[in-house]
Amino acid sequence: MIERPLIHFTPERHWMNDPNGLVFHDGRYHLFFQYNPYGSDHGHMSWGHASSVDLVHWEEHPVAILVDEREQIFSGSAVVDTDNTSGFAGEGETALVAIYTSVDAESHIQSQALAYSVDDGLSWAKYPGNPVLDRGSLEFRDPKVFRYDGAAGTYWVMVAVEAANRQVVLYRSDDLRSWSLLSTYGPAGAVDGVWECPDLFPLALDGDPADLRWVLVISLNPGGIAGGSGTQYVVGNFDGVTFVPEQPVPDALEDVDWLDFGSDCYAGVTFSGLPDQERTILAWMNNWDYAGDVPSLPWRGAMTLARRLSLATVEGRPQLCAAPILPSGVPVDPEGVLPTAARIEARLRLGAEPGATVLLEIAGSEGRVSIGAAAGRIAVDRTAAADFVPGDGVESAPLPGGSLPGVSLLGDAEVIDLTIVIDTCSIEVFAAAGSRSITDLAVLGAGRRLRISTEGGATVEDLSVADIGVGGPSSGVRP
């Protein structure tokens, strides 16, 4: 069985998948998630709940919204209704409002419903007027709601999907209860699987608040860049009614913009309640191709590291960059045994010779993972560390040329900066200032060591390792 991660959230027991209702309120980050309270397989979908003050140490709470005989509680989002537009808060109270997909137990129709909490997410009441939005569809799900404030007015916007149609649907509301259609987007880009878990948010390009762009995130299963589940994104403009891509959206998988190029970063959505410049995403660290086969009882399912997002000009166009939020670490000897949870920082200089490559291999008692870097590409090979994964276990990402503000990429310097994060059963690689990442489940075991080999005149200019295993997320349930 896989050992429980130290720095990634897992439930104390039972099945977990998509993050839901990510919201920051009163100094605390709330993570709700798809959860089976009764077993270790997907089913009986409810909203589990955990919270954190730093996005690193998590405290698990009792189930927030429980399945019942009428409905399952599928994915959705949560907002802080500061102005009490919904009317759910009493005097002196602030309501957190969850917008979730209700799946009817008999008809299996998916519609959108509300629940609310006035005690900071510890207890929830379902709105008696549910559902608040019903299209009579079997595939209408995953509402992400945010407060829009722009030229078109101030109101709530819901971004959801007609999954099988590969279409994003946008609605507006003044009170979270009554919704009217704004527009649709898609199908476009990667369409070989159903669309799920959309998100839409603004980011300042290159940190310039006067140059605001909008990012539409869409998860896809199957049809991801690494096979099975994956998440694409599109940069464009949103006027409060319609999202329009900035550039034509490519159809070829390699040309689509991907949130992550690995196999195990799916259904990622961002926290509401944070300033735009602190846009933070969390995703399910798994893949529907093998999620039910991962040997990790009594818990099954983990979240990725939380990642702070930014938008930078890369190769002449806006692209997302992700910086992992990590615990502070203690430096250790790179030539010694690696800690179970470790951050590895490396600067690689490839030089001008053709065929210049650097290979970093992390080998333990149960498996090994290799990270290979060459001009124009980075790859992760976990073939020998994930027996439950079909296929060859190799994922790769194209590296950009040119430069980012204050960061050397390939270009003439031919330098690659890497951040590699390992835990008990995962590896996350960030390159090119976070504009490329690869996230994979991988079982390495104990006694891990780092070995480095180079070819074609390539060198490792800088290397450091830190122990970031700080006890991991709590799995104790608070009453």
**Residues classed as catalytic:** 18
Can you tell me the distance from the alpha carbon of 263 to that of 268, in angstroms, rounded to the nearest whole number?
13
Closest CA to 334 of 325, 324, 347: 347
CB 186 within 8 A of CB 202: no
Place of tokens 């900071």: 120
Can you tell me the distance from the alpha carbon of 101 to that of 174, in angstroms, rounded to the nearest whole number?
19
SS3 255: helix
Closest CA to 201 of 135, 137, 278: 278
Can you tell me the distance from the alpha carbon of 75 to that of 18, in angstroms, rounded to the nearest whole number?
7
Which H helix or E strand runs over 318? strand 317-324
Can you tell me the distance from the alpha carbon of 22 to that of 79, in angstroms, rounded to the nearest whole number?
8
Distances (CA, A) of 271 to 20, 33, 382, 438: 9, 13, 31, 22
Phi, psi of 255 (to 5 degrees): -95, -15
Closest CA to 364 of 432, 291, 442: 442
Q: How many CB atoms lie within 10 A of CB 148?
A: 20
CB 353 within 8 A of CB 227: no
**Beta carbons within 8 Å of 443's beta carbon, 6+ residues apart:** 2, 366, 367, 385, 386, 387, 424, 425
Can you tell me the distance from the alpha carbon of 43 to that of 284, in angstroms, rounded to the nearest whole number?
16
Sort residue 402 into left (φ over 0), alpha (ψ -120 to 50) or beta. left
